[in-house]
Amino acid sequence: MSFIHSVERKLAKNYVNFRGVSLCKKYVLFESDDWGAIRTPDRASYERMLKAGIQVDMDYFDRYDSLESAKDLEELFEVLQSVKDSNGKSVVITPLAIMANPDFEAIDANRKTQYVLESVEKTYQRHPWTEKSFLLVKQGIVAGVYYPQFHAREHLNATRWLHAVANPTEKERIAYENQSVIISRMANDPKRINLDYFPTFDFDDYSEMEQLRANMKDGLLMFERLFGYKSVSFCPPCSIIHDDLFKTASDNGIKGIQAGQHFIPQGKNLPIKKVDHFWGSQTAYGQIYWRRNCTFEPAKNHGKDWVDSCLAEMAIAFRWGKPAVINTHRVNYIGTLDSFNREDSLRQLKRLLKEIIKFWPDVEFINSEQLYYALCQH
């Protein structure tokens, strides 16, 4: 069965890569979702939730993910700068950035009747280990190893999340008390995973679209104010988005869509619709699609050799003239809850980068904005 699964996976990877625009250069880029989002603020909160019966140790996001600390960023940047491409450039990661998080104190003050956000800059100031994180972010941008693009204003659907915490299950009450936004449920809950409020742009009824348009516009304006430039590309949280929202994205500067495969909400109790796009195909508003065709997620399974599997996927991409767009979430590089997670992921990342240069010495490391402009030329 494992052999059959391997063959099926290889066929699927070839299918994803042979269609659409091909490029003559071997480009490598890392697209990494969730930077700026809270999950669990610290180890003490994690332990309290685990003791209360929430299975935070069963989901790798809840087990390892937290707001990026200055140490997380420093150690990541050190690895990215340790390898150079054929042009002498360091590896650059494209973090998909979250602009805001729930302001728990303000929401408490209005008795959970109204959602209130706080900017990610304020969130960074909540803990000693993150208070210098934005300074590191700016240094990474200047150094050319960190080039943010837009993910969402928040990594949650604010309306759904507020309803969940205002009418809480035991799990939601405990998570809220620990200022955490997590996936896991209570050990005695048969539905262990709940993603209902994580997809920012999901909806129960199309009438919610106006609110989602306003959310996206606000988030993109916050992005420009924070980083000093417009985001050129975008990937929606959980890859869930209605095609009509691409107009709002286009009107506010988004020209490239990282989610060549995404899921269209249909409404409450209706299954989402999966859509696949060719490399270089376009939305109705002229935005260019591409795909993440390689995976590097050590936090998902620290016992797996992610270097070998990622290199195999890269070989398929290059065979068809496609860039190697490596999907690698923030959770891999976070050590606040468990330092082993960050240490092992960075060890594997460093080995991956060295192997890339060894196998393909002519590669060029680029970011997602640069990929958009490369695709525009074909």
Render pLDDT for 66-80 as a digit per residue (tens, 0 to 9): 999 999 999 999 999
How buried is 195 (Cβ within 10 angstroms: 0-12 exposed, 13-18 middle, 19+ buried)?
A: exposed
Is the separation of the CB atoms in 302 and 31 below 8 Å? no
User: Structural domain boundaries of the chain?
Assistant: 9-37+68-102+121-155+207-376
For residue 195, the model assigns a pLDDT of 56
For residue 80, the model assigns a pLDDT of 98
CA distances from 132 to 69, 223, 230 (A): 8, 19, 23
287 Rama class: left (phi>0) / alpha (psi -120 to 50) / beta:
beta
Q: pLDDT tens across 147-180, in order?
A: 999 999 999 999 999 999 999 999 999 999 999 9
User: DSSP label at 252?
Assistant: T
- Under-50 pLDDT residues of the chain: 1-5, 192-193
Residues 41 and 192: their CA atoms lie apart, in Å, by 21
CB atoms closer than 10 angstroms to residue 282: 13
Is the separation of the CB atoms in 184 and 39 below 8 Å? no
59 Rama class: left (phi>0) / alpha (psi -120 to 50) / beta:
beta
Pick from 366, 373, 374: which is nearest to 85 by CA?
Answer: 366
Residues 346 and 332: their CA atoms lie apart, in Å, by 8
For residue 192, the model assigns a pLDDT of 44
Enter the pTM of the model.
0.95
Residues 282 and 275: their CA atoms lie apart, in Å, by 13
Classify domain 9-37+68-102+121-155+207-376 at the CATH superfamily level.
Answer: Glycoside hydrolase/deacetylase (3.20.20.370)
Residues 150 and 28: their CA atoms lie apart, in Å, by 20
